[in-house]
Homo-oligomer: A and B are copies of this chain.
Amino acid sequence: MDRADALRADPHAIARLAGQAGARQLVWEDGLPAIAEDGSLLWQDVSAPELFLGLDGDEPRFAAIPESVEGYRAAYGTMANLADEQAPLFAAALSLGGWHSRHRFCASCGRETEIVRGGWSRSCAACGAEHYPRVDPVVIMLAEHDGSVLLGRQPHYPERRYSALAGFVEAGETIEAAVARELHEEAGIRVTNVNYLASQPWPFPSSLMIGCRAEALQSELTIDTAELEDARWFTRDEVAASIADPDGGPFQPPPRFAIARTLLERWLAA
């Protein structure tokens, strides 16, 4: 899939692509991109080409702006069926569609804005401001100590689920500073040697998950109970047993499509 973003600046090119044979439009279902049984995204004829998602080979791909995207809980189940190679497009459509549905007005002057650049921007005719879709960087990390790894539980998690701690990167922070701050705030630990491992777009609503690991300087935890229901250290054996047998192991690991799972699997393999 080619985002073909050089074309976005030309409204005539976008209109021509929308009328082209082979052009397709994403199907929204309960506020989420619909997924076929084979794990691919579902497409229909073009009727409202508001968001230009790019070119799949020669074939233009569009989406309408959904009324709202409220299907987050449903999405976690749905995503289990999504083919891996379709995940970036699912994330792009959902992030972008959701952003438009929540950003119809100019934050600078309060007037209604209009869609421009094939849906990759909104423009305010009243004050001239241009607004771009948000991508919010989030750090998600494994702290290690004495061969164990720190995982936590948020109150809304499914039963027995433990996962990597995470938090938004704030203005004025490096990735490494955000990892250290979040681990100190949520679990009361100081860390060193923060390393980046992998990233993943996460469209709930529009995050860039930045996966890291860090070495904890202590094992004593002070848990911020406003954020976490629990946090604890798990040994390598406990993590391996949980991934091998999610229901019978010591805890329910994060799902296959989440970067927290990737971080745990890499930690086991290292």
Contacts and interface: CB of A to CB of B under 8 A. Distances in A.
Interface of A: 3, 5-6, 88-93, 95-96, 99, 102-112, 120, 129, 131-137, 168-177, 181, 185, 196, 198-201, 203, 206, 208, 210, 224, 226
Contacts of A226: 6
A224 B5 CA distance: 12
A210 B173 CA distance: 12
Given A175-B199, A175-B210, A200-B174, A110 B111 contact: yes
A108 B132 CA distance: 14
A108 B108 contact: no
Contacts of A169: 135, 208
13 contacts: A3-B181, A5-B185, A88-B177, A92-B172, A104-B107, A104-B108, A104-B110, A105-B108, A107-B131, A110-B112, A135-B137, A135-B169, A175-B199
B103 A105 contact: no
Contacts of A92: 170-173
Contact of A135 (B3, B109, B170): B170
Residue from A6, A104, A129, A199 whose CB has the most chain B CB atoms within 10 Å: A199
Contacts of A196: 196
Which 8 A-B pairs rank lowest in CB-CB distance, beginning with the nearest? A92-B172, A95-B171, A105-B110, A91-B172, A196-B196, A103-B107, A175-B199, A110-B110
A208 B175 contact: yes
Contacts of A108: 102-105
A91 B5 CA distance: 30
A189 B54 CA distance: 19
B171 A206 contact: yes
Contacts of A206: 171
